[in-house]
Structure 1
Amino acid sequence: MNEIAGQDTSLTTVQRRMGNRDIAEGAARTAVLRRRYDAPIDDVWNAITTPDRVDRFFLPLSGDLRAGGSFALQGQASGEILACDAPHLLRLQWTPPGDPGYSDQVEVRLTADGPDATWLELEHASVADVFRNDPDTGCYGVGTGWEGPLHYLGEYLRGVLPDRPSTEWYTFDEAEELRLANYRGTEWAKVEAQHARNTGHA
């Protein structure tokens, strides 16, 4: 197990829900994650928009980082920066690698909770079938996938992570990641089932 990672304490801090909204690609489903960080809003904003800080808890980031510019997260996604309203709103076109023929949209919304805490809400919208979670088959959607980076963001803001790029300190532990994915995927499967009941769509 990656001793730095210690993710169990964050599993119950994430508020999860699913929804629907229109994006450029059409009518999309959404996975929404919400959690609170004990850090001022300006610090959280800076951490998620500054390349030298993003790569401490997530992946190397490059591009023309302004509204109308573009970004690339190494090995993960690239796209246009659709909106950037510091320190409250970041909206990205999110195109997975390998040219899948569509682009998702990721929106991050920050709200101050007093001077020393911040609520972060991340919404991932897609017209593709990227939401299904079935631990029995090892199928995990984008909601499950975002929980790790949001955990590491919290650890980074707390000063727990090394002040080095994550590629230098992160060690992948397959068994541990599968355990965490099973927990998260089970929770998201419940959210997905509830959303289907509420909307009348399987």
Structure 2
Amino acid sequence: MIRTPTGKLVKTADGTDLVLTRTFRAPIDDVWASVTESERTARWYGPWKGDAGQGKTIQVQMVYEDSPEWMDLTIDACEPPSRLAVSTVDDMGTWRMELILAENGGTTELKLVQHLDKAEIVGDVGPGWEYYLDMLVAARNDEKLPSFDEYYPAQKEYFLGQLDG
């Protein structure tokens, strides 16, 4: 099964953002816990360890990657239960991301924003974030986790096609 991509590239004053959204029939505090508590992030992304807090660095393990090594992740902003901004550096460069949550009538919208230093990487990272957000949905619903093959390379052209838009 090939998944339908939803992410959008958005031009900003500082460059380009990749924005992906998922909606949950759950209170904001419950969704916040799914993206911030290690035992819950382990179900869809990977665990983390360390002393969490704004301005601090924790270690995260992306267990669904080819080489699930622990990596440093800096918490740039933490405003429970509505905003978490993090950053990390790896071989591909600097990754700056935000999770923005908003609740309306018992439904919570989660928006993942990656501030792209190089927009041309969107063909590779866009499908990855679609995959991880769908992993979050599946984990929260106690459903079978999707396979990355359902996202990449099938979604690559969708994201690259937004570069010219």
> TM class by shorter-chain length?
0.7 to 0.9
CA offsets, 1:76-120, max 9 Å, x none?
742310111111000001222x5x6x42211010111311x2111
Query: Does structure 1 residue 152 correspond to structure 2 residue 155?
Result: no
Q: Distance in 1 between matches of 2:94 and 2:149?
A: 27
Q: Distance in 1 between matches of 2:150 and 2:79?
A: 37
Relative to the length of structure 2, the TM-score reads 0.81
Q: Which amino acid aligns with 2:100?
A: R
**Percent of aligned positions with the same letter in both sequences?**
23
Q: Distance in 2 between matches of 1:21 and 1:64?
A: 33
Q: Which amino acid aligns with 1:144?
A: P
Relative to its length, the structure with more strand (as a share) is: 2
Q: Distance in 2 between matches of 1:73 and 1:38?
A: 27
Query: Does structure 1 residue 33 correspond to structure 2 residue 20?
Result: yes
Match of 1:45 in 2: 32
SS of the residue aligned with 1:182? coil
Picking from 66, 74, 80, the partner of 1:80 is: 74
CA offsets, 1:110-141, max 9 Å, x none?
111311x21111111132466242xxxxxx2x
Match of 1:64 in 2: 51
Counterparts of 1:103-182 in structure 2 under 5 Å?
A: 103-115=94-106, 117-128=107-118, 131-133=121-123, 140=124, 142-160=125-143, 177-182=148-153
Conserved 8 A contact 2:56-2:74: yes
Match of 1:136 in 2: none
- Shift of the 58–126 alpha-carbon distance from structure 1 to 2, 3 Å rule, reads same
Q: Which amino acid aligns with 2:10?
A: G
SS of the residue aligned with 1:19? strand
Relative to the length of structure 1, the TM-score reads 0.67
SS of the residue aligned with 2:164? helix
Relative to its length, the structure with more helix (as a share) is: 1
Q: Distance in 1 between matches of 2:120 and 2:75?
A: 21
Gaps of at least 5 residues in structure 2 are 62-68
Deviation at 1:35, TM superposition (A): 1.9
Conserved 8 A contact 2:7-2:130: no
When Rg is computed on C-alpha atoms for both structures, the one with the higher figure is 1
Q: Which amino acid aligns with 1:105?
A: R
Query: Does structure 1 residue 91 correspond to structure 2 residue 94?
Result: no
Superposed CA RMSD: 2.6
Query: Runs of 4 or more off by more than 3 Å in structure 1?
Result: 176-179
Match of 2:65 in 1: none
Gaps of at least 5 residues in structure 1 are 1-6, 134-139, 162-169, 195-202
